[in-house]
Amino acid sequence: MLIPAIVCATTISGIAKNRSILVFSKTAGFRHDAIPIGREAILEIGISRGWSVTFTEDASAIDSKKLKAFDAVVFLSTTGNILDKTQKSALSSFIHAGGGFVGVHAAADCEYDWPWYGQLVGAYFLTHPAQQDAVIKIDDPTHPSTKDLPNPWRRKDEWYDYRTNPRSTVHVLASLDPSSYTGSKMPDDHPIMWCHEFEGGRSWYTGMGHTQESYKDPVFLKMLAEGIEWSCGTSKRK
């Protein structure tokens, strides 16, 4: 079921901001308790930026015709195998047509048997230590989603290790300082946020966003908003 949360279009600083965003939060594995507050936070971002925001956990929304209405799809802590063959084809066609993809936290923890999805996200989840403070180093302080972040940035979250280091295939925006926390199974180079142009569209991913507190943090929310906006950059939606 599609739930259109807001339908509005405004002009901010003379630039039309009538983006249309689909937030998809279906889970077939672990379900994060931050999903409801994450949806609320993205709704607030949409209101402030004049976006149309639609929420769903119904995979039938990942449909070639339905996706034409959106500039970007946000996978908000999705887990497990959540798409069938037709839906996978629809998502890939959406990207090929210039659509945007945003993966938040556990978006890396799904569709392990679909290599294309792993390439879209950039890496698959491996494991994580206990939630704790860590220091984030900003690799690219000029990107819209990182330019306003503290550098270094200390915050608490659930810090994902990934099965592969994505640095060779994506543009890394931020990395973890491995000396600032305990329990990581990745080598010293530990990307935690990245983006890339991918097969006609754009993909932006952050490993942050496990905690409910993340979606009350204005610094995190500004980062997320700019990541979503960036992902829409090549959209061909009419």
Identify the band that residue 54 occupies on the pLDDT scale cut at 50, 70 and 90. very high
Within 10 A of 44 (CB to CB), how many other CB atoms are there?
15
Residue with the larger pLDDT of the pair 15 and 104: 104
Res 187: pLDDT? 85
Identify the band that residue 17 occupies on the pLDDT scale cut at 50, 70 and 90. low
| pLDDT of 13 higher than 80 | no
Res 238: pLDDT? 39
For 98, the token pair is 């210039």
Bridge partners, residue 194, by sequence: 172, 205
CATH fold of 3-234 reads Rossmann fold (3.40.50)
Res 166: pLDDT? 98
Only one residue has tokens 């980062």, namely: 223
Residues constituting the chain: 238
**Could you report the per-residue pLDDT of 85-110, keeping only the tens digit for each?**
999 999 999 999 999 999 999 999 99
Sign of CA dihedral 120, 122, 124, 128: negative
Q: What does 102-165 look like in DSSP terms, one character per residue?
A: EEEGGGGEE-TT-HHHHHHHS--EEE---SEEEEEEES-TTSTTTTTS-SSEEEEE---EESS-
Instruction: List CB contacts of 221: < 8 A, sequence separation 6 or more.
Output: 41, 44, 45, 215
How far from each other are the two terminal CA atoms of the chain, in whole angstroms?
A: 23
**Could you report the per-residue pLDDT of 115-159, keeping only the tens digit for each?**
999 999 999 999 999 999 999 999 999 999 999 999 999 999 999
Q: Say whether the peptide bond before residue 150 is cis (omega within 30 degrees of 0).
A: no
Q: Could you give the strand order of the β-sheet that contains 72-76, starting from the edge strand earlier in sequence?
A: 3-6, 52-56, 20-24, 72-76, 100-104, 201-206, 191-198, 171-176, 132-138, 153-157
Res 162: pLDDT? 98
For the chain, the average pLDDT equals: 92
| pLDDT of 2 higher than 60 | no
| pLDDT of 5 higher than 50 | no
**Could you report the per-residue pLDDT of 211-235, keeping only the tens digit for each?**
999 999 999 999 999 999 999 986 5
**Could you report the per-residue pLDDT of 164-206, keeping only the tens digit for each?**
999 999 999 999 999 999 999 998 899 999 999 999 999 999 9
User: What is the residue extent of each domain of the chain?
Assistant: 3-234
